[in-house]
Amino acid sequence: MSTAQFEELVEDFEFLEDWEDRYRHVIDQGKAMEALPEALCVPATKVDGCASQVWLHAEMKDGRLHFDGASDAMIVSGLIAVLRTLYNGLTPAEVMAVDARAQLGRLGLNEHLSAQRSNGLRAMIERVRETAAREV
């Protein structure tokens, strides 16, 4: 289960042969996101377990999850953008059905992130899943 946007991202990654190009593409995805308003960068939206500062703000619109985020690290902002393409617009039940590890593996992220970044990514995924679980 993945969104059409995520499938487009997978296709983009298939054209990028080396990891440095993929890494830059992830960073570019983060740069393209709208900034999270500072008023939403509060302890309640902060994600623990990340080496960088990370905030995720999720809300339900018409029964579907939508979230935005911010980080003080460019690559982490890009990872937030990737997660948004994976999850935004799904129902809570669909969010819970996503195998994020497998989907992100399609991008080659699993083997190219440092242990700290991988831990942070897992923490962000868990936050999204927790939000969805409250709505199921």
Residue 41 annotated as catalytic: no
- The span from the CA of 114 to the CA of 117, in Å, is 5
> Exactly one of 36, 47, 50, 82 is catalytic; which is it?
50
Q: Which positions are annotated as active-site residues?
A: 50
